[in-house]
Amino acid sequence: MKDSITAPVTPTTINLTGIQNIKPKGNFSLVKAVDVLWKQRWLLLTFVLVGAAVGVFVGNWIRPQYSSDALLKLEVKSSKSNKSSDVLDMLFAQGSPADAEIEMIKSRRVLSYVVDAEGLCYKANPIGLVDRLRHHEGRMDVQSLVLPTHIRDGWTAKIVNDRSYVVYSPDGRSVMKGVVGKESSATYKGESVSILVSKISGVPGQRFDLEITSSLKAARSLANKLIIEERGKQTGIIGITYAHRYPDRAVSILNSLADVYLNQNIEMRSAEAAKTLQFLEEQLPGVKARLDSAEKKLADYRQSVGAVDLSVESQSLLKKEQDLTRQISALEQKRQETTRLFKAEHPSVQAITRQLSKARSELNKLKNDAGKMPATQQEMLALQEQVATNNAQYTSMLNNIQQLRTVRAGEVGTVTVVDYAVEDNEQIKPRKARIFFWSVGIFLFAGVMLVLLMRLFRNGVRNALEIERKTGVSVYAKVPESSNRDLKKKSRKGTLPLVCCCPEDPASEALRSVFTSVEFSAAAERPVIMVAGLVAGVGKSFVSRNLAALYANFGKKVLLVDVDMRRGVVYSKHSQGLADILSGKMSFDECLSKTDVDNMWVIGAGKPEQAPTDLLHGETFADMLRYAKQNFDVIVLDTPPINLVADTELVLPLVDFSLFVLHYGRHTMDEIDEAVTKVNRLSESPKAFVMNHCDRFMSSHYYYNGYSSYGFKKK
């Protein structure tokens, strides 16, 4: 048999013990990952297309949003006076920190007024999927809405024209007709129903769901949508941004918020001023009494001692004492007011305390100097100092009371509106391009993770050495995925085999290695070679066709028989075949077909009318093989999966060599052991494995050691 081969090949029965000593350094390299992803590229493409569809849908589903903003400034002075007293400086100059003001703006006290003023408790939500996707939804602004307390769900409204609408009850009945700008009311099951719509836009027939939410829920929703932040660091400039489906509503709500907060700020400051005013007015009589008493004592002393001439030094000393006394009095008053607003450890209180200590220290020094003067002058200085001190305190208190009365009248606030909101028709949401690319990216990432996880947790055998070690059966080769998938697909469907149409392909190289090993292992003169898989879908028909073609290329007259009468694919276009021969309907020669490959003939599976097992069980099949061996040099049998049906077990005793095709990474060791056990029980003929569908990059690197295309020019 070997003498007939024109191109001698070095005899090798490939046992991967030596060749596969080159092992990957890691369990799952980048090259493997790329190959796995490439094999599943159509699945990944499906994920990308689904992601793109989801991105387009979401981008159109999200309703447009328009933004508007307003600008506030925290004031540090009274709005009506440039000469504020010390008390007002302390009351307003410190102000509230920007963070505190921001929290105040978001408080229910402020937002509840906005909710009521803008009717944010009432909603008319458009109905209609198509209109929403096309962004052609209608609009209905509800200013007030009263629904029965026991039936609040299911109420709808429909546009009649640009000025009127109809309200429907949950049972679909028309309850009332309304006109824009006028409140409409009716009775439903003994309870009143009323609605006031301020604006309508849309196509007649468009419908809306009517909804009432609580003021608290509406205020919280508004607070969550507001973006409030200080512009710069400690600038006192506060920016407020708000987004809404309609730009005019965004402006209206934001300006309403600014006005409400401004008014409430003035009210709060007026209330604080009123408390301070009350305190000063309570203290004023006592200060006036102390002033009157001091003036009387000074007058009585002058009357008793007569005129007292003070030297220039004494007068200067008196003036300094009076100034320090007034300063101390003012600081004490300021400290009293400050401690009512802030705690003792506040920096403002601490600063006043330090100023008081310094002033008192200087006053004590002056008093020590005054102690060196004559007794009469000392007494006169003391009395004049008391009068001056009480007079300054009394005058300062009168001024503060007058200014605080102005504040209480509502003429002073710590906030002003720098910029009111204006309408901006530039849409800020949805950002369709960003949504689209994010959606595609997320779905692609999910697809990649799914593919890699499936590959990672697939517990099939991938190591040929493990198979050889545990079964004692050689693995002849690892056949990688063809670099030309279209040609491989055509090869399965009955056109030229891969080894004929694409001989330089790495898969063709692997198949030639299989052929070499089989050719020297099948020692019979006219061998019958069986090619089978463990399960369906492993590529056994692909291997059998190419093996037969390789024999034919070396001048052998080859017959390929499709024994898989259940799911035959070899030349399936021919309706007649093995089933017809075994049933006696047709002769061997009538079912024989010439292929496009020289020296290669084929017999298809045919269409069995009885169980294939029954057809193979008799002597007819054995007789057919004996007849075929008289007319052909090599017979290749494409048989069914050995672990699925009994057909292959009937064929095994009749063959000279068995080649079992394994799908790389799909079979467990138990499945392989099961197949080997069946073969050993039924046949003593040589047998081997070939691993198909191997990762292309892995096979070329680890099995072919990088030389899978050696000697061929890449096109």
Q: 274 near 408, Cβ under 8 Å?
A: yes
| Same domain as 349, residue 323 | yes
| Same domain as 535, residue 449 | no
Top mean pLDDT of 75-84, 194-203, 361-370, 459-468 is at: 194-203
Top mean pLDDT of 40-54, 337-351, 456-470 is at: 40-54
Q: Does 434 score more than 60 pLDDT?
A: yes
Q: CA-to-CA distance for 244 and 225, rounded, in angstroms? A: 9
Q: CA-to-CA distance for 613 and 623, rounded, in angstroms? A: 16
In this structure, the number of other CB atoms found within 10 A of the CB of residue 590 comes to 11
Alpha helices in 524-619 (DSSP H): 540-553, 578-582, 588-591, 612-617
User: Is 15 inside a domain boundary?
Assistant: no
What is the percent of the chain with per-residue pLDDT over 90, rounded to a whole number? 42
**Which residues pair with residue 687 across a beta bridge?**
658
Range with the poorest average pLDDT among 83-97, 419-433, 580-594: 83-97
Q: How far is CA 109 from CA 103, 266, 633, in A?
A: 11, 14, 100
Q: 356 near 307, Cβ under 8 Å?
A: no
Q: CA-to-CA distance for 226 and 213, rounded, in angstroms? A: 19
Q: 156 near 210, Cβ under 8 Å?
A: yes
249: left (phi over 0), alpha (psi -120 to 50) or beta: alpha
> What integer pLDDT is reported at residue 12 of this predicted model?
38
Range with the poorest average pLDDT among 114-118, 131-135, 703-707: 703-707
**Which residues pair with residue 84 across a beta bridge?**
none
Q: Which residue has the higher pLDDT, 205 or 484?
A: 205
Tell me which residue has tokens 């061996």: 629
Phi then psi dihedrals of residue 210, to 5 deg: -90, 135
Task: Look at residue 599 and give its three-state secondary structure.
Answer: coil
Give the residue from 475, 512, 507, 515 showing the smallest Cα distance to 489: 507
Give the residue from 648, 686, 688, 692 showing the smallest Cα distance to 471: 688
Q: The CATH number of the domain where 566 resides is what?
A: 3.40.50.300
User: Is 194 inside a domain boundary?
Assistant: yes
| Same domain as 165, residue 49 | no
* Per-residue pLDDT tens digits for 125-182: 999 888 888 888 999 999 999 999 888 899 999 999 989 999 999 999 999 999 999 9
Q: 650 near 616, Cβ under 8 Å?
A: yes
Question: What's the domain count of the chain?
Answer: 4
| Same domain as 621, residue 601 | yes
> What integer pLDDT is reported at residue 87 of this predicted model?
47
Reported confidence tier of residue 715, pLDDT bands at 50, 70, 90: very low
> What integer pLDDT is reported at residue 356 of this predicted model?
87
- What letter does residue 577 receive in the DSSP assignment? S
Tell me which residue has tokens 């009994």: 646
User: Is 622 inside a domain boundary?
Assistant: yes
Tell me which residue has tokens 């499906």: 46
What average pLDDT does the segment 561-574 reach? Answer: 71
Q: CA-to-CA distance for 405 and 469, rounded, in angstroms? A: 103
| Same domain as 490, residue 370 | no
Q: CA-to-CA distance for 394 and 388, rounded, in angstroms? A: 10
> What integer pLDDT is reported at residue 257 of this predicted model?
95
User: Is 446 inside a domain boundary?
Assistant: yes
> What integer pLDDT is reported at residue 348 of this predicted model?
81
Q: Which of 212, 244, 278 is the last residue of a domain?
A: 212
Q: CA-to-CA distance for 194 and 9, rounded, in angstroms? A: 98
Give the residue from 237, 260, 249, 256 showing the smallest Cα distance to 424: 249
| Same domain as 519, residue 412 | no
User: Is 680 inside a domain boundary?
Assistant: yes
629: left (phi over 0), alpha (psi -120 to 50) or beta: alpha
| Same domain as 468, residue 448 | no
What average pLDDT does the segment 634-662 reach? Answer: 92
Q: Which of 212, 228, 263 is the last residue of a domain?
A: 212
**Which residues pair with residue 244 across a beta bridge?**
66
Range with the poorest average pLDDT among 74-88, 137-151, 436-450: 74-88
User: Is 157 inside a domain boundary?
Assistant: yes
| Same domain as 596, residue 484 | yes
Q: CA-to-CA distance for 151 and 170, rounded, in angstroms? A: 8
- What letter does residue 415 receive in the DSSP assignment? E
Q: Is the dihedral of CA 115, 118, 119, 121 positive or negative?
A: negative
Reported confidence tier of residue 82, pLDDT bands at 50, 70, 90: very low
* Per-residue pLDDT tens digits for 485-504: 555 555 555 568 888 888 88
- Amino acid, res. 24: P
What average pLDDT does the segment 679-708 reach? Answer: 70
Phi then psi dihedrals of residue 544, to 5 deg: -65, -40
| Same domain as 652, residue 634 | yes
User: Is 584 inside a domain boundary?
Assistant: yes
How crowded is the C-beta side of 668, counted as CA atoms within 13 Å?
A: 7
| Same domain as 494, residue 370 | no
- What letter does residue 9 receive in the DSSP assignment? -
| Same domain as 671, residue 550 | yes
Q: 563 near 655, Cβ under 8 Å?
A: no
| Same domain as 401, residue 516 | no
Residue 430: asked if its preceding bond is cis (omega within 30°), the reply is yes
- Amino acid, res. 39: K
Q: 437 near 55, Cβ under 8 Å?
A: yes
- What letter does residue 407 receive in the DSSP assignment? I
State which residues form the domain around 350.
290-419
**Three-class secondary structure assignment of 344-363:** CCCHHHHHHHHHHHHHHHHH
